[in-house]
Amino acid sequence: MSDIIKLLSDSVANQIAAGEVIQRPASVIKELVENSLDAGATDIQVVVKDAGKTLIQIIDNGCGMSSIDARMSFERHATSKISRAEDLFAIRTMGFRGEALASIAAIASVEMKTRRDEDKLGTHICIAGSDITSQEQEACSVGTNFLVKNLFYNVPARRKFLKSDRAENKHILTELHRVVLTNPEISFTFISDNNQVFQLKPENLRQRIINIFGKALNSSLINVSTDTSIVKINGFIAKPERSKKSTSEQFFFVNNRYMYHPYFRKSIAMAYNKLIPEGEHPSFFIYFTIDPAHIDINIHPTKTEIKFEDEQAIFQIVNAAVKESLGKFNIVPSLEFEENITRDAHLTSKTSFKSPSITINPDYNPFDQKGTQNFKRDTMPGNWESFYTPSQTKTPDDFFLPKESIPEQKELLDETAFKKEEKGIFFQLKNKYILTSGKSGLIVINQKRAHERILFEKFLKLLETRKGVTQKSLFPVIYEPAPSERAVLLEVISELNNIGFEIVMLGKDKFEIKGVPGDLTDIDPHKTIDQMVYVLGEISGSAEMVLHEKIALSLAKTAAFKVGKIMCEQEMQDLFYRLMSCSNHNHTIEGKKILEIISVDEIEKKLN
């Protein structure tokens, strides 16, 4: 039998290796921008066309390369950054594997112009499928200018795997956020399809965060800072009312490198404890400084996980630092805060706690007729109310269920064949399900899904009839969405205005919410729009739904009450009859079951 093992050609081997490092346009941008940073650039420009599928260009003013290095840089494992295995444990630069340029050159056509300060002429190299097609000396500015065209042109399977431009752009923004947040002293420009998405000048970290995530964050950021023998922690957390349904504003960095760390994230979530509604996430930007010998970043080239030697201790340090900051700003009710001091004070000797003694309400408004007693409820959205007085205060949903429009019970009973005499009593189970008796058995309703369905149908109807009534706000709210959210909002703004919102565009990045639908007057307009736009972004890929359905669904999901709402019997009954008047009371728009009937037969069998 003849030999069967063959050596792969270089280009095939390179393509396989490239798959490890380069999965999508965002990975190319990450690698090239990190190279620019390692090259000491102070100004980096990123230009993309068609979400990077057609073109990616990175221009930096870094140290550039000699003509020999320019050629060498495309060789696999060619790097100027480490030379010994031990160096892997003292990594201070972003790149270190010498794989990125070789990988990119294997799966795209690449052009690079580069010049060092000391050289008169620069080098211009063209590469396609790992082969250098030309190399010339050429006049160019100091630094490196990288052009990557037709990504995956020679790997159709990968090209097909790429998502929509919107999805790929989102990945690019995610990568860029991680880089710009660790380098506030560096200028960054990002241009996508001829639109300037951002232009960031050198600034401090706080300004940088605000310039990326919107000015609204300014009043919400709280400083976090602690210094222990194991780790130094700096950065910002946001006040609880900034919480989001997504984790898009959660950032950990270690030695200026982005890190994904669910365990430390949990530590922060625990520090916020009940301050934010279930299902929402606090915003944070936390920077760790630690001796590189105590972490291992050499796990996987694309992974952002990092291993720490002393994970449990750091978990507690993070938790204590966040609690301390929340406490300083009087955000944690003092009683709970004091409890925590005694529990955690031993964790880190350098972290000191001060319990707040005076309560000052910064939002106190002597002209506010509601008075001071309620200030917490007025300034804090959603579930804050239930945190203080669980079942008495009104929540947004109360305003979606005006009593006068509750349908006649009789028609519903006929329609759903529930016997009037058995309509009886409503019970709540685990603050999640509503139980009542029906004609053939026990009816179990998922209360949150039911509410979502009711709101969905209500908003859909409003969207179709365009008959929303606007309640003008006395104090219009300014909304400054992040770039990715702005695009989503612009798509739906006229529809939202049809159903009663009054949102006007003040500038490129600035909107004013001047009014909300009549029955939504008690919600936090800023938060509602923000979350609704987020949910809309998430479901935008669904091809089965038309735009009105997507808008109605995103509004319903935003406004539906949270899991765990305690309901009184009247509320349960209202919800039940409203659900029964929906066109579909069995399933949510996403196909999940809202209601189940456990038959008397089944019950009898179980109790046999």
Among candidate residues 235, 248, 242, 202, the one with its CA nearest the CA of residue 219: 242
Residues 370-409 that bind ligand ADP (CB under 6 A): none
- Other Cβ atoms closer than 10 A to 104: 23
Q: In this structure, how many other beta carbons lie within 10 angstroms of the beta carbon of residue 507?
A: 8
Which sign, positive or negative, has the C-alpha torsion 271, 276, 279, 281?
negative
From residue 75 to residue 114, the character string flagging contacts with ligand ADP as x (rule: CB under 6 A) and all else as - is ---xxxx-------------xxxxxxx-------------
Q: Nearer Cβ to ligand ADP, position 300 or 432? A: 300
Nearest Cα to 243, choosing from 409, 410, 381, 105?
381
Using CB under 6 A, pick the residue from 39, 108, 230, 320 that binds ligand ADP: 39
**How far apart are CB 100 and Mg ion at their closest, in Å?**
4
35 counts as binding ligand ADP under rule CB under 6 A: yes
- Residue nearest ligand ADP, Cβ-based: 95
DSSP characters for 58-82?
EEE-S----HHHHHHTTSTT--SS-
Question: Angle of helix 10-21 relative to helix 100-107, nearest 10 degrees?
Answer: 110
What is the secondary structure of 232-273 as a DSSP string?
EEEEEEE-GGG-BSSSTTEEEEETTEEE--HHHHHHHHHHHG
Rounded to whole angstroms, the Cα distance separating 346 from 14 reads 53
Residues 6+ apart with CB under 8 A from 516: 470, 471, 473, 500, 501, 502, 523, 525, 528
Nearer to ligand ADP, 100 or 551 (CB): 100
Q: Which stretch binds ligand ADP (CB under 6 A): 33-41, 278-286, 314-322, 330-338?
A: 33-41
Which position among 51, 65, 237, 560 is part of the footprint of ligand ADP (CB under 6 A)?
65
The residue among 99 and 571 lying less far from ligand ADP, judged by its C-beta, is 99
Q: What are residue 512's DSSP bridge partners? A: 478, 504
- Residue 64 vs 396, nearer CB to Mg ion: 64
39 versus 463: smaller Cβ distance to Mg ion:
39
80 binds, among Mg ion, ligand ADP, none (CB under 5 to 8 A by kind): ligand ADP
- Per CB under 5 A, contacts with Mg ion among 11-70 are 35
Give the shortest CB-345-to-ligand ADP separation in angstroms: 44
Cα–Cα distance between 2 and 17 in angstroms, integer?
28
Single residue of 36, 192, 243, 351 touching ligand ADP by CB under 6 A: 36
What's the closest the beta carbon of residue 30 comes to ligand ADP, in angstroms? 10
94 CB contacts (<8 Å, ≥6 apart)?
34, 35, 37, 38, 257
Judged by CB under 5 A, the chain residues 92 through 121 that form the site for Mg ion are 95, 100
CB of 145 to ligand ADP, least distance (A): 9
Report how far residue 463's alpha carbon sits from residue 537's, in angstroms, rounded to the nearest whole number: 19
Draw the binding track, 138-177, toward ligand ADP (x: CB under 6 A; -: no contact): ------x---------------------------------
**481: partner contacted, choices ligand ADP, Mg ion, none (Cβ within 5-8 A by kind):** none
Residue with tokens 């919410």: 513
122 binds ligand ADP (CB under 6 A): no
Supply the minimum distance, in Å, between the C-beta of residue 98 and Mg ion.
Answer: 7
CA angle 130, 136, 140 (to 5 degrees): 110
Helix/strand/coil for 123: strand
- For ligand ADP (CB under 6 A), the number of binding residues is 22
- If contact means CB under 5 to 8 A according to the sort of partner, which of ligand ADP, Mg ion, none does residue 36 touch? ligand ADP
Q: Residue from 25, 52, 62, 184 that binds ligand ADP (CB under 6 A)?
A: 62
Question: Closest CB to Mg ion among 52 and 517?
Answer: 52
Q: Residue 128 Cβ, how far from ligand ADP at the closest point, in Å?
A: 17
- Bridge partner residues of 435 (DSSP): 427, 444
* CA–CA dist 570, 558 (Å, integer): 23
Q: In the 3-class helix/strand/coil scheme, how is 384-439 assigned residue by residue?
A: HHHHHCCCCCCCHHHHCCCHHHCCCHHHHHHHHCCCHHHCCCCEEECCCEEEEECC
* H or E stretch covering 287: strand 284-289
Query: Is there binding between residue 484 and ligand ADP (CB under 6 A)?
Result: no
- Does position 60 interact with ligand ADP (CB under 6 A)? The reply is yes
Instruction: Give me the residues that bind ligand ADP (CB under 6 A), please.
Output: 31, 35-36, 39, 60, 62-65, 73, 78-81, 95-101, 144
Instruction: Give me the residues that bind Mg ion (CB under 5 A), please.
Output: 35, 95, 100
